[in-house]
């Protein structure tokens, strides 16, 4: 099994994460493939997947134009892998 880090792409013109509330901004997923990881993120997402928004995509976690999906390797520097904090 692999670990995957999913995050929104930066500097999107058609941004499904705007406005920022009631949305997921990142996942760390255990899955065999990137496709499986993206599907799990989509299934657990928030209103960024909503049909109510006027964005071109309704599946930003499945679409590489809207989100990244990077395999996490055990090697690397000591530290926090992800801290997805938003202050209102």
How confident is the model at residue 19, as a pLDDT?
Answer: 87
pLDDT of residue 80: 84
- At residue 53, the pLDDT reads 63
Least Cα distance to 49 among 24, 68, 85 occurs for 24
The 10s digit of each residue's pLDDT in 65-87 is 999 999 999 888 888 888 887 77
Report the alpha-carbon distance of residue 49 to residue 78 in Å, rounded. Answer: 33
pTM of this prediction? 0.84
Residues of the chain with pLDDT under 50: none
| Predicted pLDDT at 68 | 97
Residue 47 near residue 22, CB atoms below 8 Å: yes
């Amino acid at each position: 099994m692999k670990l995957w880090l999913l995050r929104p792409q930066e500097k999107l013109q058609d941004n499904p994460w705007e406005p920022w509330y009631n949305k997921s901004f990142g996942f760390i997923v255990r899955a065999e493939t990137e496709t499986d990881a993206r599907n799990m993120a989509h299934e657990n997402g928030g209103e960024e997947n909503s049909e109510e928004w006027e964005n071109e995509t309704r599946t930003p976690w499945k679409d590489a134009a809207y989100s990244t999906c990077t395999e996490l390797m055990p090697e690397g520097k000591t530290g926090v892998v992800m801290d997805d904090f938003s202050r209102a």
